[in-house]
Each structure stands twice: as C-alpha cells, then as structure tokens.
Chain A
Amino acid sequence: MRRIFQIGGEETECWLAHDGSRFVLNTPEGVLPCRLDPTTSPGGFVLRARGLVRDVRLAAGPESTFVHMDGRTYEVGRADPAERLAGSDGGASDDRIVAPMPGVVVSVAVKPGDIVAAGQPLLVIESMKLETTLAAPRDGVVAEIPFAAGDSFGLKDVLAQLAPEED
C-alpha cells in the first residue's frame, strides 16, 4: 500500500487506502480523496481530487508514471519501499569465502593486495568432479589467498579473505 513517489528529484512516501467508496492518498501533507476514471482517448483519464476535475493522459513505465495534465508533462518516479529494502536481503556480505565442500584449488586469479570488483573471479576449485569459480562477494582488496593451485582444502577452510571494509 506504500509507495515512494519522486517528482523533480524530491521523494515523498505515501500510502493508498480505499474507504469503501473512494481511494484516499495519504501524503505527508495530508489526506487526499481521489478517483481516476478512464476516458475514450488512449491513456486518457479523468482525475478528481481536491475538488478539481482534470483531464489527464498517462502512461506507466516500469519505474515512472508519465502524466500529461493541463498542457504539461510530468514524470513521477515510483518505488515500492519494500523492494528498496529487498536490496539488503541477506544483510552485509561476508569478507571470507569459505569452502562449501572439500576439494582442490585448480587456479588462483588474484594475489593479496589486488583490488577486485564484486563478481570478479578469485579462484577456481574442483570438488566432486565439478569446477566452480569463486567470485568476490563485494568490491574490495584481497587480504589473503591461503591456498595455491594444486593444494587440497577441507570443508569450511577459508579460501579467500578480503580486507575489512572501512566505514
């Protein structure tokens, strides 16, 4: 029910309700009963709000709604606050890459001190007849690669360690 709207770079968090007979947009400024009825023109609607009646044309893109009203065109960015938070799913990433199972290091692509980007391959391991590329979980600096190509490692051994992030 909540949305963050962005107009001209300014964000406003609102929530929409429906009291059984009409929609009500709750903005930080107050409560706005409103309704939107389609017309016959493509993307055409009649907006009723604040005692005003306005012909509008609108088109909703994935992130913005474009509105033509009173001879002007506006872009209203929309964000679901929940989806924004979903960006933090899983919480902060770990600095260590821990062996998911025992195996052998096939090759090592970086050395301590290297600057790596998130997703950049660090080393390739082989376990259970499968080669797996282990990539940097975040941007950072390689602190340690304890194993060399050909070395065996055990479950939960640390295969790579990034230098801690500075806040």
Chain B
Amino acid sequence: MRRIESQIDTNAPDYKANFAAMSARLKEFHTRQHAARFERPQRDNDRLARQNKLGVRERLKLLLDPGTPFLEFSTLAACREYDGAVPGAAVVTGIGIVQGREVAIHANDASVKGGAWYPLTVKKIVRLLDVALENRLPVIHICDSAGGFLPLQHGVFPDRYLGGRVFRNQVKLSQANIPQIAVVGGHCTAGGAYVPTLSDYNIIIEGTGAIFLGGPPLVKAATGEVVGVQELGGAVMHTSVSGTGDYRAATEQHAFSLAREIVSQWKRMPKTIIETAPCEEPYYDPKELYGIIPKDRKTQFDMREVLARIVDGSRFHEYQPDYGTTLVCGFAHIWGYKVGILANNGVLFNDSSLKAAHFMQLCNQNRTPLVFFQNITGYMVGREYEERGIAKDGAKMLMAQGGSVVPKFTVIANASYGAGNYGMCGRAWDARTLFMWPQAEIGVMGADQAANTMADVKIRQLQREGKELTDEEIAAIREPVLERYKRDVEAYTSTSEIWDDGILDPVDTRNALAMSISAALNAPIDDPHYGIFRL
C-alpha cells in the first residue's frame, strides 16, 4: 500500500493559524472534560467519603487491567442540560479491558446527584447497552444510584427508549448469551434493583450496597413496617437469605477483585476474523491534524491529509481516484485492522454517490469494516442534478450504506449537514461508534443558510403584510435566529444530547477507532444482503 504524499507545509501561515485555533479549542475541550470527570463540589466528595465509598474513577481503576486503554463514551453528556449541574449525566460508560477481555462498563457516578437517573442518564446507559448488544460485549454494571430523578420522571420513565429500555436491553443481552456482572456499591432501589437482579452475577459490597424494590422510608409509608437498610436489602440478607445477591464483598477492593475473577472464568469466544497487517504508526505526525483542520469551517481541505495522520504508515489504497472525486474512497489499516474508508472532499454528486454505493458493496463482499470521515454539506442540488437523478443516486448510497452488514464507524470531522449526514452514516444509521471533533457541526444545513432561510420566511411574511424592512430590522430578525442555530449545531450540543459517543481530540481518533473496531469484532459479520437499489 502506498504512502500518501502530504502536501502540507507546516511553516505556512494558514497552517500555523489553524494550529493555534484548534489548540485553543482543544484547551477548552480538555478543561471541560477534566471538570466533568473530576471536579465536584466538596460536599459531594465529603458525602462519598462519609459513606465509605470510592469515587467512580477509583472504582474503574480497581476494575480495569492496569496499563490498558479505556474508551470512554459521552464524557460531556448533559453539558448543556440541567444548568450544567449533572456532569457526564451522572454516569460513566465505555469499553475497557478486564482480565484481557473487552467489556462494556456502565458505572453510576454517585458524586453527581447521588447517581440519580436524569433523562440523559438513561439515554447514555441505553446507548451503552446498545453498544454491548451490537458488539456482543459483556457488561459490568457498577450500581450506585439514588434512583430516577423524580422532577423529570416524564423524561426518565415512560417512553420506549427510557428507563425500561435499560432492563429490556439487559434481558436481550442475557438472551444473547452475553454475560453481565453487577457490582452493587450503593443502593439499587425500585427499578434500579433490576440492574443487579437481571445480571448473571452480582456482588454486593457489605455496608454500602443494598438492593430493594422499596427503601425503608417507602416501606414505612406503604405498610408501616419499620426496617433498616441492611435487614431490608443488605449484602448479608441477599447473599444468605434471599439469594438475590451472589457474592458478598467486604470492601470495594474485594468486590472488584471478585468481579475480575468472575470475568476470568468466562469462556473466551473467538473474535471475528478480518484482514489485518502488522501495525504501523502513521508516518505523518497526528498532531499536524491541528494545522490541517481549517479554522474557518467553510474552508475546503483535502481529507487525504487527515487520513495520512490517522491510518497505519499513512498508507492508503485509493479506489477510483479519478472518478467522483468529491468522495475519497479506499483501503487502509488502523492498528493493523483493514478498513474501507469513505471521506468527503466536497459535496456529494451523482458520480460520488454511485462510487460510494459501489465501494461499500465491495467492503461488504470482503468483510471490510467501514469508516466514514464526514465533512459534508449535502447532496448537490439544482435542476441539472435532479435531472441526472441525484435523489435516486443518493438513495442507492443510502441503500448500500444502511444495508451494510460490516461494522461501521463514523467520525464527524467537520461539517455534517443534511442528507449528507445520512449517506455518510450519521447517528440514525447504526455506526457502532460515532465521534465528533470539537469544531465540527451537525444540522440540517449550515448556520448562515439556516438562519437566512428562517429569517426569509419571517421577512416575506412581513413583506406580505406590506411592511418595508430596513437592513437593521432584517439583521434584528436574523441575528438571534443565527445565534440560536449556531449553538444548536455545535459539537457540545450534539454531545450533550448524546447524538454522538463523544467529542474526540483529533489525535485520539486513531485509538478510538481501533478500540471500536476491535470491540466490534466480538460480534459475527452477517452475509451481505441489501434492499432494492433504485437503478
């Protein structure tokens, strides 16, 4: 495979300006991420200490193999909700390594609102369990939750993908022979009681862990019975009387040591075999991505320069290099795993759509996972393109993409607008993981375009009413719309709402993709089959 010949001049003023802009963005990103992970009001830390509990990060440290990676999902979930008071949506999720095995981890963060379930908490947990189901990853639940956040119960409880979905997914995991362990390091009350009870194995930490459908206050209110936490649902009772608990742990250390021991008992399932090559670091320094991503989103850049800083040895075998050139397609390796890459180098035309559909069929045929690098403003519009059947060609691309049986992974590298988001495997299209870069945007169209469109509607309405508008008046209508829209399409909004699996520092993309691919290979790859292509 040939090495991409980079055209980047790292001394160019543009490069340096881009680098500075991206560095500033990343500084903000890392600051926010660190705060979401570690910064808590003193009283919350004090409370945990008083309860003799470890923080969720310490718990992960005890659980995970030392010196192994942890791919954390949606660290900044809920960062734009609940007044920013529920960092990470009060839960940590991700893929980590325990006794050499990949496991999905769902860990309540009791330092945030006692680990209460907010609407986005539920969304984040359900997403994690979807990841576990799709990739056949065993799940380790670390339970320590005050229960559903009652003032927002309408966003936590009733709908299809809300609270009940957590338990439904647990059942589906069990049904699919995917093991689960729950470590009960706090209270599991009401619905929460089903997390450990639906797990194949559960461990209750003596003194701090408890499981009950109704806690002591509720029991007293309901029946008048006065009963203590330990008698009602403590470790001793559940492991010796009710059989609800499997293992009683004397300490947190003991609990996670037991969990690790349980994982080591599991049968090792062979992973799906795909093409691999010896791993090679990228030839070009991934940090150069900072200078390649333009500081102005509307500036065009060559996606090959991005790929050269992500794939093994910067090597890329390009498919149809001279056809449909607004979409770069080709093969590369990431941490040795062979992948088929689709990367936008402009608007999608008829030819680039057809090229995409054909290339994806190739990858499905030879079991090559797909990686999408999005920088897409949409499919080309206009009479000529409609006449050429752009909607029909776009449909072919969607049919090939949506019908792909190989695992798909998406990086929203810059713009992700309109139907281009669909064609390039946006959130609705079951990418196994989907990450955004911090400057990227996602929306039905670009901010200016959207603001203009929305403002125009208003202006035309006023004009129909016979009002003549000055430039200032037009701006006064347009500006607030633009401001609101700009915020709504930002990566922080996307990640807050869990439209993605997290924002990535671009240099982490290579590892995040490799972790995702490796995890995906725990699930088999089906034989290729598609719907009907509109030819």
- A contact residues vs B (CB 8 Å cutoff): 1-2, 15, 17, 24, 26, 81-82, 85-86, 88-92, 94
Q: Kindly supply a per-residue 1/0 record for chain B positions 191-209, scoring 1 wherever the CB is within 8 Å of any chain A CB and 0 otherwise.
A: 0000000000000001000
Q: Out of A15, A85, A90, A92, which one reaches B67, CB within 8 Å?
A: A15
Task: List 24 contacting pairs A-B, 8 Å CB cutoff, sorted by A.
Answer: A1-B65, A2-B66, A15-B66, A17-B66, A17-B67, A24-B67, A26-B66, A26-B67, A82-B257, A82-B261, A85-B251, A85-B253, A85-B254, A86-B257, A88-B250, A88-B251, A88-B254, A89-B247, A89-B254, A90-B248, A91-B206, A91-B236, A92-B250, A94-B236
Say yes or no: A85-B257 contact (C-beta < 8 A), given A91-B235, A91-B248, A91-B250: yes
Instruction: Provide the residues of chain A in CB contact with B95, threshold 8 Å.
Output: none
Chain A's closest residue to B64 (CB) is: A1
Instruction: Give every chain B residue within 8 A of A89 (Cβ-Cβ).
Output: 247, 254, 258
Chain A residues with Cβ below 8 Å from B261 are 82, 86
**Which single residue of chain B is at the shortest CB-CB distance from A24?**
B67
Contact residues, B225-277 vs A (CB, 8 A): 235-236, 247-251, 253-254, 257-258, 260-261
Q: What B residues does A17 contact at CB under 8 A?
A: 66-67
Contacts of B247 in A (CB 8 A): 89
Contact of B257 among A24, A81, A90 (CB under 8 A): A81
CB distance from A31 to the nearest CB of B (A): 10
For the complex formed, measure the closest distance between the CB of B111 and the CB atoms of chain A, giving whole angstroms.
24
Establish whether residues B257 and A92, one from each chain, have CB atoms under 8 Å apart when the complex forms: no
5 closest A-B pairs (Cβ-Cβ)?
A: A17-B67, A88-B250, A15-B66, A82-B257, A85-B254
Could you tell me which B residues sit within 8 Å of A by CB distance? 65-67, 206, 235-236, 247-251, 253-254, 257-258, 260-261
Q: Which residue of A lies closest to B67 (CB)?
A: A17
Taken together as a complex, chains A and B put the C-alpha atoms of A51 and B131 apart, in Å, by 45
A94 to B261, CA, bound (A): 25
**A82: nearest chain-B partner, CB-CB:** B257
**Which of A17, A81, A90, A92 has the most CB atoms of chain B within a 10 A radius of its CB?**
A90
Q: A27: shortest Cβ distance to chain B, in Å?
A: 12
Q: Which residues of A contact B251 (CB under 8 A)?
A: 85, 88
Bound CA–CA A82/B261 (angstroms): 8
- In the complex, chain B residues whose CB is within 8 Å of the CB of A2: 66
Contact B206 A1, beta carbon cutoff 8 Å: no
* Chain A hits for B236, CB < 8 A: 91, 94
By beta carbon, the residue of chain B nearest A15 is B66
Q: Which one, B65, B206, B260, contacts A92 given CB within 8 A?
A: B206
Chain B residues with CB under 8 Å of A82's CB are 257, 260-261
A73 to B235: give the CA distance in the assembly, Å: 47
Question: What is the chain A residue whose CB lies nearest that of B240?
Answer: A94
CA distance A24 to B249 in the complex (A): 31
A85 to B65, CA, bound (A): 17
B235: chain A residues at CB < 8 Å are: 91
Contacts of B65 in A (CB 8 A): 1
A91: which of B67, B249, B257, B260 is its contact (CB, 8 Å)?
Answer: B249
Residues of B within 8 A of A81 (CB): 253, 257
**Nearest CB on A from B208, distance (A):** 12
Could you tell me the distance between the alpha carbons of A1 and B260 in the complex, rounded to whole angstroms? 11
**Chain B residues, CB < 8 A from A86:** 254, 257, 261
Contact check: which of A1, A85, A90 meets B66 at CB < 8 Å?
A: A1
A2 to B61, CA, bound (A): 12
- CB of B62 to closest CB in A, whole Å: 10
- Enumerate chain A residues within 8 angstroms of B257, measured Cβ to Cβ: 81-82, 85-86
Bound-complex Cα distance A86 to B261 (A): 10
CA distance A86 to B260 in the complex (A): 12
CA distance A108 to B277 in the complex (A): 73
Give the one of B235, B250, B260 with max A CB within 10 A.
B250
Cα of A81 to Cα of B247 in the assembled complex, Å: 18
A87 CB, min distance to chain B CBs, angstroms: 9
Q: A17-B67, A85-B251, A85-B257 are in contact. List 19 more A-B contacts (CB 8 A).
A: A1-B65, A1-B67, A15-B67, A26-B66, A81-B253, A81-B257, A82-B257, A82-B261, A85-B254, A86-B257, A88-B250, A88-B251, A88-B254, A89-B247, A90-B248, A91-B235, A91-B250, A92-B250, A94-B236
How far is B206's CA from A94's CA once the two chains are assembled, in angstroms?
Answer: 13
A residues near B250, Cβ cutoff 8 Å: 85, 88, 91-92
The interface residues of chain B lying within 8 Å CB-to-CB of A92 are 206, 250
CB closest residue in chain B, given A2: B66
Chain A residues whose C-beta falls within 8 Å of the C-beta of B254 in the assembled complex: 85-86, 88-89
**Closest partner residue, chain A, to B250 (CB atom):** A88
Distance in Å: Cβ of B64 to nearest Cβ of chain A: 10
A85: chain B residues within 8 A (beta carbon): 250-251, 253-254, 257-258
Docked Cα-Cα span, A153 to B294, in Å, equals 83
Q: For the complex, what is the distance from the CA of A24 to the CA of B67, rounded to whole Å?
A: 10
**A residues in contact with B248, CB < 8 Å:** 90-91
Complex-state Cα separation, A2 to B249, whole angstroms: 20
Question: Shortest CB–CB separation between residue B490 and chain A, in angstroms?
Answer: 37
Bound complex: CA A82 to CA B236 (Å): 21
> Which A residue's beta carbon lies closest to that of B248?
A91
**Which chain B residues border A94 with CB–CB below 8 Å?**
236
Cβ of B178 to closest chain A Cβ, rounded Å: 24
A99–chain B nearest beta-carbon distance, Å? 14
Contacts of A24 in B (CB 8 A): 67
Kindly state the separation between the CA atoms of A94 and B240 in the bound complex, as whole angstroms.
Answer: 11
With A and B bound together, what is the CA distance between A66 and B228 in angstroms? 52
Give the distance in Å from the alpha carbon of A97 to the alpha carbon of B218 in the complex.
Answer: 32
Q: A145 to nearest B CB, angstroms?
A: 22
